[in-house]
Amino acid sequence: MNTPFWQAAFSITRKDLRAELRSRELVNTMGLFALLSVLIFSFALELDRVARQEAVSGVLWVTVVFASILGLNRSMAMEREQGNLDALLMAPISRSAIFAGKLIGNFVFTLVVGLVLLPLMTVLYNVPLMQPWVVVLLLLGIAGFATIGTLLATMTVQTRARESLLPIIMLPVALPVLLASVNASTAVLNNAPIDDWIAWPQLLAVIDVIYLTLCFLLFEYVIES
Amino acid sequence: MNENPALIETRALVKAYDLLVVLRKLDLQIQRGEFVALLGPNGSGKSTLLRLLAGLTRPTSGTILIGGWELPREAAAVRAQIGMVSHRSLLYENLTARENLRFFARLYNLNPTTDHIDTLLRQVGLYKRGDSLVRTFSRGMLQRLSIARALLHRPDVLLFDEPYTGLDQDAGRTLDNLLAQAHSEGHTIVMTTHELDRAARIASRVLILSRGTIGYDAPASQLPPGELAARYGELTGMVVIQ
């Protein structure tokens, strides 16, 4: 009776991407924030080469996290503004398909920002961020943020203080992802032996699976209450 | 056995938000093909009733049956039978009219053929604006496109929540015609509105919701002049200026 899961999920993602390509609201907001953030940190750390090397991974992840929060708020606001969430809820689709569709879109938008940051920060900080392992960590970390962020943005979008509420509730919940991502990428950028840090991306993958499972299970309850 | 079961039925339906009881043991039966206008002052529970029928909110207690399926237990079966038009468009402003309809067609597991979408756009008079972004549409055009979206999957039941809000007289008349056409095509319509005259003119049955229950229920064709306004005034304590 329900529309096939992936047909519904991909339709929602495709709709989000198409709307974004046209309006560029998300990418402009997230991109501008990310650019300003790395520029400000670059000026602050300009004179201290060692501090720059140590801090670059933190700057990358803090920028990605806050840019993703901006994107998540906007992405869910799009569903709220004209009552579109009601239209999605009235369609014969699984609630999990709505979650999957929004999650994939949020993941793609944040990943684009993260991938643009790598060459930009390589130039500004003179630290080689364009490495395969950094990209893998970016994929794993952003998957975690996008998963928990999509669920929490669905909860906060109906509240009046949604813009400020999302970071307040998301950062503590996303802390394990942030810790694992920062530690792993710091080790990669400092050329530490792989045995010293491989546990971090493994932990990140496990956290992602746990978050994905929990969020899929909780989404129906969250969206209907 | 009932020969003619109601398409929509509520039994002892209660909806409360914490201590605020909006609907109190509401019993209602709507037959297939009826056009019901639901009247009542703000806060009387009209929109809440529509959201309950659409499966967008859960009842506190009582039963809702649509086409024999019970909500919310069998919501998946009910969703494909319902189309809703609200005072908000439920459309994506950064997509074109055609893209919106194609998107919703996919959600309803329909093959979004150009023919079907073009037919709907013609039906609501938006064929030539099919490739325009929805954000460029006037309020009246948005409402017509909302109707096309609601009709897309050929639902048995159409729910209209104050569809005339913000429409000028021309757009209101166009909407009257679209509603009459949908009714003549056999859709069962439930519409909330504050416009008593319009309700009496276009609907086949009028209900006045007052203090969470049905205070008045009559066929629109048998209403003597002034009757609806008088009963509305009695039930709501409001003076109706005609």
Number of domains in chain B: 1
pLDDT at A217: 93
Q: Are B7 and B31 in contact (CB under 8 A)?
A: yes
Token readout for B77 is: 């079966």
Would the CB atoms of A86 and B76 count as touching at under 8 Å? no
**Interatomic CA distance for residues B239 and B242, integer angstroms:** 10
Would the CB atoms of B94 and A22 count as touching at under 8 Å? yes
pLDDT at A111: 95
Residue B210, pLDDT > 80, answer yes
pLDDT in tens, B103-131: 999 999 988 777 889 999 998 889 999 99
* Domain that includes residue B69, residue range: 1-81+181-242
pLDDT at B205: 94
pLDDT at A164: 83
pTM, rounded to two decimals:
0.89
Three-state SS for chain A is CCCCHHHHHHHHHHHHHHHHHHHCHHHHHHHHHHHHHHHHHHHHCCCCHHHHHHHHHHHHHHHHHHHHHHHHHHHHHHHHHCCHHHHHHHCCCCHHHHHHHHHHHHHHHHHHHHHHHHHHHHHHHCCCCCCHHHHHHHHHHHHHHHHHHHHHHHHHCCCCCHHHHHHHHHHHHHHHHHHHHHHHHHHHHCCCCHHHHCHHHHHHHHHHHHHHHHHHHHHHHHHHC
Residue B43 covered by a domain = yes
Residue B196 covered by a domain = yes
Q: Is B55 on the interface with A (CB under 8 A)?
A: yes
Q: Are B8 and B190 in contact (CB under 8 A)?
A: yes
Going by C-alpha positions, the residue among A170, A199, A190 that lies closest to residue A72 is A170
Residue B219 covered by a domain = yes
pLDDT at A158: 80
Find where tokens 């198409």 sit: A18
pLDDT at B41: 87
Q: Are A103 and A146 in contact (CB under 8 A)?
A: yes
Would the CB atoms of B76 and A4 count as touching at under 8 Å? no
Find where tokens 């928990």 sit: A148
Please give the biggest Cα pair distance in chain A: 63
Would the CB atoms of A18 and B99 count as touching at under 8 Å? yes
Min distance B45 CA to chain A CA atoms (Å): 18
pLDDT band at B36 (very low <50, low <70, confident <90, very high): very high
pLDDT in tens, B159-191: 999 988 888 888 888 888 888 988 998 899 999
pLDDT at A200: 95
pLDDT band at B1 (very low <50, low <70, confident <90, very high): very low
Task: List all residues of chain A from 91 to 150 with a beta carbon under 8 Å from chain B.
Answer: 91-93
Any idea of the CA torsion for A57, A58, A60, A62, to the nearest 10 degrees?
A: 160
CB pairs under 8 A between A and B: 80
Closest CB to B79: pick one of A23, A82, A91: A91
Q: Which residue of B has its CA nearest to A23?
A: B94
Residue B4, pLDDT > 80, answer no
Query: Could you count the other beta carbons within 10 Å of the beta carbon of residue B230?
Result: 12
**Interatomic CA distance for residues B159 and B104, integer angstroms:** 17
Would the CB atoms of B107 and A89 count as touching at under 8 Å? no
Rg over CA atoms, chain A: 18
Min distance A100 CA to chain B CA atoms (Å): 14
Residue type, A122: T
- Spans in chain A with pLDDT lower than 50: none
pLDDT at A215: 95
Find where tokens 């509305």 sit: B232
In chain B, residues with a C-beta closer than 8 Å to the C-beta of A82 are 88-93
What average pLDDT does range B216-233 have in this prediction?
Answer: 82
In chain A the first and final C-alpha atoms are separated, in Å, by: 23
Q: Is B110 on the interface with A (CB under 8 A)?
A: no
pLDDT at B3: 59
The DSSP code for B219 is E
**Interatomic CA distance for residues B6 and B67, integer angstroms:** 7
CATH of the domain at B215: 3.40.50.300
Q: Is B14 on the interface with A (CB under 8 A)?
A: no
Q: What ipTM, to 2 d.p.?
A: 0.88
pLDDT in tens, B55-105: 999 999 999 999 989 988 888 889 989 999 988 889 999 999 999 999 999
Q: Is B69 on the interface with A (CB under 8 A)?
A: no
